[in-house]
Every structure is written in structure tokens, then in C-alpha cells.
């Protein structure tokens, strides 16, 4: 042990003050762990929720303090040392120490890596012009909000959840919004064409221009973005741009210290990495999922919370297996989209309700008769019941699923 670390008691160190890290702290203390906890985060704030950043917080409908996962006082009351504005730069596994970018050393008995993910940047000419924004943090929201003027022209690059949520909020604020998506439909990675086309028509009815099958090839402007070039003759005027083209897991600490990393930090169902004293949770992990029988890397609050709980249990000698149906949500206008399960590989999509006639329906994804996922639009019962049925690997009759006279509770024969 060297320098600063000599005076420090070894305890649990958490790198990353986000959703998974905050959950781990709460679970450690509620589980009776009384030893030292240090949480190192490279942002300025106590752990906060990111979903509102593209929804109510961006819209100015909720205040800053509503974002906190736990009230700031919680950490002092729980006797947790918070180290903010500090980046963990390396892990010395031999001496069991975390080294920070500003030269501090934190010895650990157990280490949790909960570093989340960062935005994927767009690498085309003009990428560094002013006015090109991403959305991951509170600071990013503040940058985008500063451009929210009625009549301003916003081009959103990427028709995934985040791009579409930003488009919906911007439209409500009176901006001219264009969404550019490379795939032939929005949200193509996660939902059936029925759902994509429904969302495209809702956005278009609100006045958003949605262009699919276009790839941004560059940005033009004199110091500041003025046009978005799609390389096929199409040029879009822009006062500013928001890019939402996916994320990259923050795995560098794990890679550099020789942990097993493969599309995320490889952990088992108890959040254990290839080092017995190091655990990982949240967006940065690649973990097994017993429901689907293969490994996953997920970007969701539910995943971060549940893995945070498993990590806390495992670090203190317990065993809480993480083995759940993934779920996610997206809010756009008056539509709450709730997704349970993973639809990839489905053989049949069954629609309950009429997407043409109203703003409430569900699409069930069956694989050889077994329910594997649902997209529920303003349909909480379908979502809730499906979570249970997916976990049970229930085989369902498509005709009964379609029949709205049969309540979801009665859907299994
Ligand atoms: C705009 C937006 C909207 C979203 N909407 C939804 C939604 O509707 N539903 C949903 O389920 N999910 C949503 N998500 C995803 C969800 O927020 C994430 O999956 C979740 O926050 C992951 O938690 P985490 O703890 O793994 O990472 P994070 O919460 O991102 O926390 C990781 C923290 O670690 C810090 N960090 C990284 N490297 C280091 C280092 N070396 N040293 C110190 N600190 C470091 C990061 O800066 C960050 O503060 C959304 C995300 C965004 C950005």
C-alpha cells in the first residue's frame, strides 16, 4: 500500500455514481453491511435518473432535484464517502486499489464497476461544429434547452427512443423538427414495423418531418452547424442538431486491468467478473439471462437496479441471482410505450387493439407459440401480464390474445 491509501480502511469502492452504483449503495446498507463505502463519480452530481433527461426534464416539467435517485442527504446519513468530479483512471488488481486521474488512491476489499455507457459519436465531416449536441447528462440537457426557441430548426440524427423523445418535446415547444433515420423505419432495432409505422404517423401528425433510409454524410456551417448533408442531394437547414445513434459501454477500466470483456464486462448472474474481488453492474456489463438462455448487454434502468442489487448481495457474501425479463419504456406525446422482453427471433406478431383507430394497442411477439416480448402502447395490463407470462415461457393462443373481450388475466387457458 502506498501514499494516500496507507491511511484508508479497506471497504467497498464503487466506480460510477449512476443508477447501478446508487442501487448498490442502498442495497448494501439495507442489507446490513456496515463497513466503509466509497463512491467515485466523474460527474458533479449525486446519482441521478437519466430517463427524464429526454422527457419531463428536457420539457422543463420537473425540477433538477426530482432527478436524484436518492436525496443528497441519504449518502451522508448512510455514511458513504462521495467523491465527485473524479475519474477512476486505473485498477491495480495486485494491490487492490483504484487510482484516479487526479492522483488519488482508493484501496478496496471489493470493487464494483458501474461506469455505464457513453454516447456513440458521429464521425463525419463537420462533426465538431458548434450546435451539434448529444444527450446523456444534465449538462447535455442544459445545452439543448438553451436552443429551444419557438421556430428554431432542429435536426435529430437517429430515430431511436432518445431521438424521438427529443423530437416530441421539441415539437411541443414550437420548434421545426426533422428526424433522419438510416434504417427504413424508426425504432427498427427494437419494435415490429406495426409499432414503427404507428409512431411515424403520430410524429408526422404532430408536424415532425421523419425521413427514413437516409444517412448523414456531413455537417456544414461557418463555425456553427447550418446544414445537415445526407450525401444524396438532400440538405436540411438546422439551427442545431441532436445526435442519438446509440451508446458504447464504458469498459476501458476493465479492459486495461485485464478483466474478461466482450461486448461489455463479462459477469455471471451474481454480477461477478473474472476477478473474485471485482463486480460489475448496469449498462457496462454483458450478463447471462436465464429467461432467454443467452448473454445480453442491456441499456435500461431495470437492468441497472437489479444488477446493482445482485452485486451488493454478492460483495457481502450473499447470492441474489439476476434472472429477469428485461423491460423498458419510452414517453412520446401522450403515448407510454412499455416494452417487456426481447423480440428478436419472433415468428409471429399478434396485435391486440387497433393502431389505426386509436392510441392504445399492444403487439405480442411469439416464437413458436411462446410469448417472448410485448410492446404495449398505453396498455398497462398487457405489459404487466406479459412480464409474468414471458418469465413463465407461456405458450399462448393468438386468437385469444387478439380478442379484447378476454381480459389479460384470463388470457391463459
Ligand atoms: C436520455 C436518456 C434517456 C433514457 N431513457 C430510459 C428509459 O426511458 N427507460 C430506461 O429503462 N432506461 C433509459 N435510459 C437508460 C438508463 O438511463 C441507463 O440504462 C442507466 O442509467 C444505466 O445505469 P448505469 O448505472 O449502468 O449507468 P449510469 O447511470 O450512466 O452511471 C454511470 C456513471 O459512471 C460514470 N463514470 C463512467 N466512467 C467513470 C470513471 N472511469 N470514473 C468515474 N465515473 C465514471 C458516468 O459518468 C456515470 O455518471 C435512458 C438514458 C438516457 C441517456
Which residue out of 14, 19, 137 has the highest number of ligand 1 atoms within 8 Å of its CB and is therefore the one to mutate? 19
C-alpha of 315 from chain center: 24
**Across the chain, which distance is largest between two alpha carbons, in Å?**
71
Query: For ligand 1, is residue 115 a contact (CB within 6 Å)?
Result: yes
pTM over 0.75: yes
At residue 306's C-alpha, the angle toward residues 340 and 347, to 5°, is 25
Q: What's the pLDDT at 5? A: 62
Which domains does the chain show, CATH number per domain?
3-118+248-315 (3.50.50.60), 121-245 (3.50.50.60), 334-410 (3.30.390.30)
Are 332 and 316 spatial neighbours (Cβ–Cβ below 8 Å)?
no
Instruction: Report the C-alpha gap between 345 and 367 in whole angstroms.
Output: 7
Instruction: Report the C-alpha gap between 282 and 298 in whole angstroms.
Output: 8
Give phi and psi for 50, each to the nearest 5. Answer: -90, -30
Query: For ligand 1, is residue 91 a contact (CB within 6 Å)?
Result: no
Which residue out of 19, 43, 49, 50 has the highest number of ligand 1 atoms within 8 Å of its CB and is therefore the one to mutate? 50
Q: Say if strands 278-280 and 285-289 run parallel, antiparallel, or are unpaired.
A: unpaired
Q: How many angstroms is it from 46 CA to the middle of ligand 1?
A: 13
Q: Whose CA is nearest to atom 6 of ligand 1?
A: 51
Q: Whose CA is nearest to atom 7 of ligand 1?
A: 51
* Secondary structure (3-state) at 128: coil
119: β partners: 247
Query: For ligand 1, is residue 42 a contact (CB within 6 Å)?
Result: yes
Instruction: Report the C-alpha gap between 343 and 196 in whole angstroms.
Output: 14
Could you tell me the mean pLDDT of each successive run of 10 residues in the chain, 413 residues long? 64 98 98 98 97 98 96 96 97 98 96 98 98 97 95 98 98 97 95 96 98 97 97 95 98 98 98 98 97 95 98 97 96 98 95 95 97 98 97 96 95 86
Q: Whose CA is nearest to atom 27 of ligand 1?
A: 116
CA dihedral 165, 55, 341, 313 (to 10 degrees): 140
Are 402 and 386 spatial neighbours (Cβ–Cβ below 8 Å)?
no
Which is nearest to 380 in space by CA: 355, 361, 365, 402?
Answer: 361
Q: How many angstroms is it from 50 CA to the middle of ligand 1?
A: 6
Angstrom CA distances, 168 to 179, 183, 203, 219, 232, stand at 11, 20, 7, 23, 27
For the segment 350-391, what is each residue's pLDDT rounded down to a tens digit?
999 999 999 999 999 999 999 999 999 999 999 999 999 999
Amino acid at each position: 500500500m502506498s501514499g494516500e491509501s496507507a491511511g484508508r480502511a479497506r471497504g467497498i469502492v464503487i466506480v460510477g455514481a449512476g443508477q447501478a452504483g446508487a442501487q448498490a449503495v442502498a442495497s448494501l446498507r439495507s442489507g446490513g453491511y456496515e463497513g466503509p463505502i466509497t463512491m467515485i463519480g466523474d460527474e458533479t452530481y449525486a446519482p441521478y435518473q437519466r430517463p427524464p433527461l429526454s422527457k419531463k426534464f428536457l420539457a422543463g416539467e420537473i425540477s433538477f432535484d426530482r432527478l436524484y435517485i436518492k436525496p443528497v442527504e441519504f449518502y451522508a446519513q448512510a455514511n458513504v464517502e462521495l467523491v465527485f468530479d473524479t475519474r477512476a483512471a486505473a485498477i491495480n488488481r495486485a494491490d487492490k486499489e483504484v487510482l484516479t486521474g487526479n492522483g488519488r488512491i482508493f484501496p478496496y476489499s471489493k470493487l464494483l464497476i458501474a461506469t455505464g455507457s457513453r454516447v456513440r459519436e458521429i464521425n463525419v465531416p463537420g462533426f465538431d461544429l458548434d450546435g451539434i449536441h448529444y444527450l446523456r447528462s444534465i449538462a447535455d440537457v442544459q445545452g439543448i434547452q438553451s436552443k429551444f426557441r419557438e421556430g428554431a430548426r432542429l435536426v435529430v440524427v437517429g430515430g431511436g427512443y432518445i431521438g424521438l423523445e427529443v423530437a416530441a418535446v421539441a415539437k411541443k415547444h414550437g420548434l421545426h423538427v426533422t428526424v433522419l433515420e438510416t434504417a427504413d423505419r424508426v425504432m427498427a432495432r427494437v419494435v415490429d414495423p406495426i409499432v414503427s409505422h404507428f409512431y411515424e404517423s403520430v410524429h408526422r401528425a404532430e408536424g415532425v418531418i421523419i425521413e427514413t433510409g437516409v444517412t448523414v454524410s456531413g455537417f456544414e456551417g461557418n463555425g456553427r452547424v447550418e446544414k445537415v448533408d445526407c450525401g444524396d442531394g438532400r440538405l436540411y437547414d438546422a439551427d442545431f442538431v441532436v445526435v442519438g445513434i446509440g451508446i458504447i459501454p464504458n469498459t476501458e477500466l476493465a479492459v486495461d486491468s485485464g478483466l474478461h470483456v466482450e461486448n461489455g464486462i463479462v459477469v455471471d448472474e451474481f454480477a461477478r467478473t473474472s476477478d473474485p474481488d471485482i463486480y460489475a453492474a448496469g449498462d457496462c456489463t454483458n450478463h447471462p439471462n436465464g429467461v432467454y438462455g443467452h448473454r445480453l448487454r442491456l441499456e435500461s434502468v431495470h437492468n441497472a437496479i437489479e444488477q446493482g442489487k445482485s452485486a451488493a448481495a454478492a460483495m457481502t457474501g450473499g447470492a441474489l441471482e439476476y434472472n429477469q425479463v428485461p423491460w423498458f419504456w419510452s414517453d412520446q406525446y401522450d403515448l407510454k410505450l412499455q416494452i417487456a422482453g426481447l423480440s428478436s427471433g419472433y415468428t409471429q406478431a399478434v396485435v391486440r387493439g387497433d393502431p389505426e383507430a386509436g392510441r392504445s394497442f399492444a403487439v405480442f411477439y411469439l416464437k413458436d407459440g411462446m410469448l417472448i416480448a410485448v410492446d404495449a402502447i398505453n396498455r398497462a395490463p398487457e405489459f404487466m401480464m406479459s412480464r409474468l407470462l414471458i418469465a413463465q415461457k407461456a405458450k399462448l393462443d393468438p386468437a385469444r390474445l387478439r380478442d379484447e373481450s378476454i381480459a389479460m388475466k384470463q388470457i391463459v387457458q
